[in-house]
Structure 1
Amino acid sequence: MGIVIIGGGAMGRAMYDGWINAGVPENSIAVADLNADLCCGSADFLLRDTGQSKMVVLAVKPQYVASVLEAHAQLLNPGDIVTSVAAGVRLTTLNGLVSDTVVVARAMPNLAVALNSGTIGIAIANGVSEAMVQNLTSVYDKLGKSFCIDEQQIDSFTAIAGSGPAYFFQFVEHLAANCAHLDIHQDIADSIVTQVMVGAAAMLADTDLPGASELRNRVTSQEGTTEAGLKSLEANGVLSQLVKNCLIDARERARELSEIEYRHG
């Protein structure tokens, strides 16, 4: 399947890099942008009648989605897929901008797609065949792992997966910064903490155990150092409440932004 990414900003380029890393041929994927410096790949496949469907990814600001689809209407053939990563542009809006023979979907990736470790939420319009759904998800799975969600869950998914890396980075930042209180110099603290997180993530990704809690239990010896540290983190349920507040606040802001973008669009 050929892929055209319209918009060469941070997310558009991250997706391009991820697909190239996954083995998508450079002559089967292209980034198109008004800024020629942001264009890459090759769109020559558009000139060949391969009989295969293609995917057009809209990685532009929400207010430009309608004009971009209008300008590129000649690219879309029956069976093609349009996926939008633009916040607030709903499936009903996308359906109204293309032929009813074109499949539309919304995607919410995070920037880890550049390293093929992304988390991607996909909301697909009703009536799409199971074969087409599998085709779409298989393309996005090359960037990490995709999850089919209802459109009304997009804002919640954004709060968890879209913003999630920043929560992780901030915890790493605090952990490394506080190594100074344990007489660990900053010049190695960052490397130590990063490696701890890389190892923990690898264990979590590799385990057949039911979630992080069982791994945590295995690491935690009774009355040991880990238990002492965890008791401090969990004192009076503060950590759980902070995480809950974090996710709710992020989701509500995503809803606000979606409504703003939707009205402006």
Structure 2
Amino acid sequence: MTGESKPLTIGFVGAGQMATALAKGFRDAGSVPASSIVACDVYPAAGERFVEQTGGRLAPSSAQLATEAQVIFLAVKPQQMTQAMADLRKSLGAGQLVVSIAAGVTLKTLAAGLGEQVRTIRVMPNTPSLVGCGASALSRGASATSDDVALVQKLLSNVGVAVEVPEKLMDAVTGLSGSGPAYVYQVIESLSDGGVRMGLPRDTATKLAAQTVLGAAQMVLTTGLHPGALKDAVTSPGGTTIAGIHALERGGLRGVLMDAVEAATDRARELDAS
């Protein structure tokens, strides 16, 4: 995208937690050295924390940042996006790629704010990106290329996994992986409560519950097997696991989780339309 002779510089307009997590992931994976990471933020404290945790540097403004970075991540809050795009627009060049991680900000909004000719990609990350286990989805703008998509997927893979979806599915992504960590936290808490109910100390129960969820998720990703097949593999006839599964089925666990994704998706659609 920028030519083999020029190192890739990544800029962040907004230096909050998600921007810091991404920058650290890029740096730690060796994709981008700290010297090639630059950020700006209207809040000095956020900029200072960004530099402390990533080793990057600060630019005095988004206009200055745009003179240095070939890839610019818009990492401001949705309500700050209009002003951020207005500040950035006049400084963008033809060779730059803009990646938005602001929830609910559509590609149409990005094109209107930055210019139709600007190459844009919209990303929906989730909070486990902060610990390198994120699940991100991305949608390309009309001017973005396949190379742009490949680059962003490669960068995001440093903090988890990243998949491309049509923008019309972004609200479903929000309902599943965007809001999903909260559902899983409730599952972990409930499993821990069950352990306490059966006599385990709270810290032991929570540790076992969290590790069990982590391990089960890793089994799905590592083996590539259908979750139902993995479930069957640990469910012996007349055993303890099938007794527990029977209780989950009576309680409607599957339907409740499906309803949660549907409700969050519907709410994301309402917010996008507002």
> 8 Å contact 1:122–1:149 — kept in the other structure?
yes
In structure 1, what is the equivalent of residue 83 of structure 2? Answer: 67
**Deviations 1:180-215 (CA, angstroms, capped at 9, x unpaired):** 221212232112222222222222221132x21111
> Secondary structure of the residue that 2:11 maps to in structure 1?
strand
> Secondary structure of the residue that 1:119 maps to in structure 2?
strand
Alignment of 1:1-265 (within 5 A): 1-23=8-30, 24-39=32-47, 40=51, 41-42=56-57, 54-73=70-89, 75-209=91-225, 211-235=226-250, 238-260=252-274
Relative distance call for 1:258 and 1:244 in structure 2 (3 A) is: same
Gaps of 5+ in 2: 1-7
The offset of 1:55, in angstroms, is 1.3
Gaps of 5+ in 1: 261-265
Relative distance call for 1:182 and 1:48 in structure 2 (3 A) is: closer
Q: Runs of 4+ in structure 1 displaced over 4 angstroms? A: 46-50
Question: Which one is further off, 153-162 or 175-184?
Answer: 175-184
> 8 Å contact 2:137–2:165 — kept in the other structure?
yes
Quote the sequence identity (%). Answer: 31
User: Partners of 1:80 and 1:91 in 2: how far apart?
Assistant: 16
> 8 Å contact 1:114–1:143 — kept in the other structure?
yes
> 8 Å contact 1:32–1:38 — kept in the other structure?
no
**Deviations 1:131-185 (CA, angstroms, capped at 9, x unpaired):** 2222222222222111111111111100101111111111000110121221212
The offset of 1:101, in angstroms, is 4.2
User: Partners of 1:88 and 1:48 in 2: how far apart?
Assistant: 24
User: Partners of 1:61 and 1:192 in 2: how far apart?
Assistant: 36
> Secondary structure of the residue that 1:128 maps to in structure 2?
coil
> 8 Å contact 1:55–1:83 — kept in the other structure?
yes
Q: CA RMSD in A?
A: 2.3
> 8 Å contact 2:11–2:66 — kept in the other structure?
no
Which TM-score applies when normalising by structure 1? 0.87
Relative distance call for 1:217 and 1:83 in structure 2 (3 A) is: same
**Deviations 1:230-263 (CA, angstroms, capped at 9, x unpaired):** 0110127x12221121111111111122223xxx
- How many aligned residue pairs are there? 255
Question: Which one is further off, 114-123 or 90-99?
Answer: 90-99
The offset of 1:48, in angstroms, is 11
In structure 2, what is the equivalent of residue 263 of structure 1? Answer: none
> 8 Å contact 2:11–2:65 — kept in the other structure?
no
**Deviations 1:96-135 (CA, angstroms, capped at 9, x unpaired):** 2224442111110011222222111101113533222222
> 8 Å contact 2:66–2:72 — kept in the other structure?
no
Which TM-score applies when normalising by structure 2? 0.85
Relative distance call for 1:148 and 1:255 in structure 2 (3 A) is: same
**Deviations 1:16-42 (CA, angstroms, capped at 9, x unpaired):** 232233232111112321111111222
Relative distance call for 1:4 and 1:75 in structure 2 (3 A) is: farther
**Deviations 1:67-114 (CA, angstroms, capped at 9, x unpaired):** 212223354221211111222322122112224442111110011222
